Amino acid sequence: MNNKRRLLLFAFALLLLATLAYWLPVAESLLAFLQWINQYRGFAWLLFILLYITATVLMVPGTILTVSAGFVFGLPAGIALVSVASTLAASAAFLVGRLIARDWVRAELGDHQRLAAIDRATTESGWLIVLLIRLSPLFPFSASNYLLSLTGVSLRHFFFASWIGMLPGTILYVYLGSAANSLLALADNGVQAGTAGRAMFGVGLIATIVAATLIARKAGSVLRRELEKHNS
């Protein structure tokens, strides 16, 4: 199978998974599974990590898992567990996208100087770009893992920047879960982040603007440098 066909199948699979996650009762199924693993405390943490990785790779939103961890495991353990699980899950999705589609993207960029410059910009400033994207509410967690896998960001930068950038949201949502009366209450009432959530949203919007500006300026600098090399 050539790279282009493989990329099309990959894009179709992601779209299908996102559609199924939206229409199917995924949240209820996840909560039922969490209630089940809560009965097996000895290895509940391992099952939770595996569930988080699987859900993320399959494009299932991870918010309900993050919140539920606060109820199931408590605040300190929940924060530590979600921090590990979400970072490993993001990295797993990143590797899937990179193995399937990155070669095609790299081959196509050779004919597009501006797109190649953007790709180079994400390579040179990858750590900061990933950090800002993780702080932004406009970049969905599951989708951004795959989108970033198509850029030049290294796995090392992706891993550590994702871990740090997701910590504020992890702390907030695990805390909300720890304050819930039951998992069923979380399903019925949803996540109410309150003032802290609105503050994080404001910070995230600023991060979005900064990320877009950084990418544009860095790409422009790379493009000018490459054109100067070409003309000299």
Give per-residue pLDDT as tens, 151-182.
888 999 999 999 998 988 888 888 888 877 65
Confidence of residue 136 (pLDDT cuts 50, 70, 90): confident
The whole-angstrom separation of Cα 213 and Cα 32 is 43
The CA–CA distances, whole Å, from 115 to 109, 148, 182, 215 equal 6, 14, 48, 11
Backbone phi and psi for residue 186, each to the nearest 5 degrees, phi listed first: -65, -40
Per cent of the chain over pLDDT 70 is: 55
Contact between residue 62 and residue 142 where contact means Cβ atoms under 8 Å apart: yes
Give the span between the Cα atoms of 87 and 85, in whole angstroms: 6
Which residues have a Cβ under 8 Å from the Cβ of 120 and sit 6 or more positions away? 152, 219, 222
Tell me: pLDDT of 150 over 80. yes
End-to-end CA distance of the chain: 40
Instruction: Report the distance separating Cα 165 and Cα 131, nearest Å.
Output: 5
Distance of CA 219 to the CA centre of its chain: 23
Q: What is the mean pLDDT of residues 76-101?
A: 92
- 76-81 long-range contacts, CB within 8 A, separation 24+: 77/45, 78/174, 78/177, 78/178, 79/170, 79/171, 79/174, 81/45, 81/48, 81/49
Instruction: Determine contact, residues 193/40, Cβ cutoff 8 Å.
Output: no
Q: Residue 89 has what pLDDT?
A: 95
H or E stretch including 130?
helix 126-135
Q: Which residues touch 42 (CB under 8 Å, ≥6 apart)?
A: none
d(CA 60, CA 20): 9
DSSP type of residue 58: T
pLDDT digit string (tens) for 77-86? 999 999 999 9
Q: Is 61 in contact with 29 (CB distance < 8 Å)?
A: no
Higher-pLDDT residue of 229, 87: 87
Location of structure tokens 């960029």: 109
Least confident of 33-47, 49-63, 158-172, 174-188: 174-188
The residue among 31, 92, 97 whose CA lies nearest residue 66 is: 31
User: pTM for the complete prediction?
Assistant: 0.74
Q: Are 152 and 134 in contact (CB under 8 A)?
A: no
